Amino acid sequence: MRKERIVFARGRRVYLRPLDKATDLERCTRWTNDPEVTRYLARCLPMTLLAEENWFDKQVGRENDFPLAICTSKGRHIGNIGLHQVDMRLGVGTTGTLIGEKAFWGKGYGSEAKMLMLAFAFRTLSLRKVYSDVIAFNERSLRYSLGMGHKVVGRRRDHWYREGRYWDDILLELFRADWEPLWAEYEATSRWTKVPYEMPVFER
Ligand SMILES: CC(C)(COP(=O)(O)OP(=O)(O)OC[C@H]1O[C@@H](n2cnc3c(N)ncnc32)[C@H](O)[C@@H]1OP(=O)(O)O)[C@@H](O)C(=O)NCCC(=O)NCCS
């Protein structure tokens, strides 16, 4: 019997659904052990199936963390996106995204998933501001966040150690007011053209 498809938020090319340990655990563990993926993430150590399972179990019943699976419109699970450490008193939260299927990088899936997650953050939870951070060499992720209206607000110098040297952590934040025009544009246009932005220039 075919499993019912659960949808939390639907976009044009992706939809978001709750993670399902029964179907997603091994796939997520494959992603969190792929050095080409984890070089961009805060956690880059080997992840056992048991550790990943513990992570899944910890999500159950947590009220300030919202991890979701990113699926293509055909139902292929290609990555995860989360809104974490939501503080309803301050009206803030932090986003994190991982497209684990590398063939799907750079094709707009991450941007659409993030738009849907931001709509949940701002329009359902009524947050004021969403944070994000990026390892300085992760140009794709930086562009992706800037394209959503994030602004660079600082950097923690020599924060991450990767590939034999330290790298800065770039801190970004997005106020709802800066995101609303992008959402209006996303809703109105079938071919979503994002507003132009400037890449920040960092000297090292
Ligand atoms: C970062 C990530 C979520 C972005 O999602 P994506 O679907 O690959 O990105 P998109 O196709 O939506 O494009 C994002 C932007 O990056 C640009 N981009 C794509 N490939 C790029 C590359 N190799 N280098 C620089 N920029 C690139 C795109 O052109 C787009 O910018 P634009 O709007 O100006 O055209 C995804 O690549 C990913 O999960 N990577 C591995 C893990 C990771 O880096 N997570 C984020 C940690 S902060």
Distance from first CA to last CA of the chain, Å, rounded? Answer: 57
Q: Would you state the torsion angle of the CA atoms of residues 136, 17, 147, 185, taken in this order, to the nearest 10 degrees?
A: -170
Å from CA of 111 to ligand 1 middle: 8
CA distance 169 to 183: 27
Q: How confident is the model at residue 127 (pLDDT cuts 50, 70, 90)?
A: very high
For the chain, the residue count is 204
State whether the Cα torsion 63-5-110-122 is positive or negative: negative
Give the residues across from 68 on adjacent strands.
18, 81
CB distance 132 to 147 below 8 Å: no
In this predicted structure, what is the pLDDT of residue 3?
66
pLDDT at 4 over 90: no
Residue nearest to atom 18 of ligand 1 (CA): 140
The 10s digit of each residue's pLDDT in 149-186 is 999 999 999 999 999 999 999 999 999 999 999 999 99
Residue 82 β-bridge partners = 67, 96
Q: What pLDDT is stored for residue 60 in this prediction?
A: 78
Which residue carries 């944070």 as its tokens? 131
φ and ψ at 127, to 5 degrees?
A: -70, 160
Q: What is the mean pLDDT of residues 141-150?
A: 95
* For residue 199, pLDDT beyond 60: no
- Report which protein residue has its CA nearest ligand 1's atom 27: 140
From the CA of 134, give the closest atom in ligand 1.
48
User: Which is the CATH superfamily of the domain at 9-188?
Assistant: Gcn5-related N-acetyltransferase (GNAT) (3.40.630.30)
Residues with CB under 6 A from ligand 1: 37, 40-41, 79, 97-99, 105-111, 134, 138-141, 143-144, 147, 194
Confidence of residue 5 (pLDDT cuts 50, 70, 90): confident
pTM of the model: 0.93
* pLDDT band per the 50, 70, 90 thresholds, residue 189: confident
Q: What is the residue extent of each domain of the chain?
A: 9-188
Unique residue bearing structure tokens 């340990």 = 21
Tell me, in angstroms, the distance from the centre of ligand 1 to residue 4's CA.
Answer: 31
Hey, CA dihedral for 172, 99, 68, 13, is it positive or negative?
positive
The per-residue pLDDT for range 79-101, each reduced to its tens digit, is: 999 999 999 999 999 999 999 99
Region for residue 15 given its phi and psi (left: phi exceeds 0; alpha: psi -120 to 50; beta: otherwise) = beta
**pLDDT given for residue 17 in this prediction:** 96
Q: 109 by DSSP, 3-state: which?
A: helix
pLDDT digits (tens, 9 = 90+) for 25-79: 999 999 999 999 999 999 999 999 999 999 999 887 788 999 999 999 999 999 9
Which of 115, 144, 160 is the best mutation target for the ligand 1 pocket, counting ligand atoms within 8 Å of the beta carbon and taking the most? Answer: 144
Buried b (16+ CB within 10 A) or exposed e, 75-107: eebbbbbbbeebeeeebbbbbebbbbbeebeee
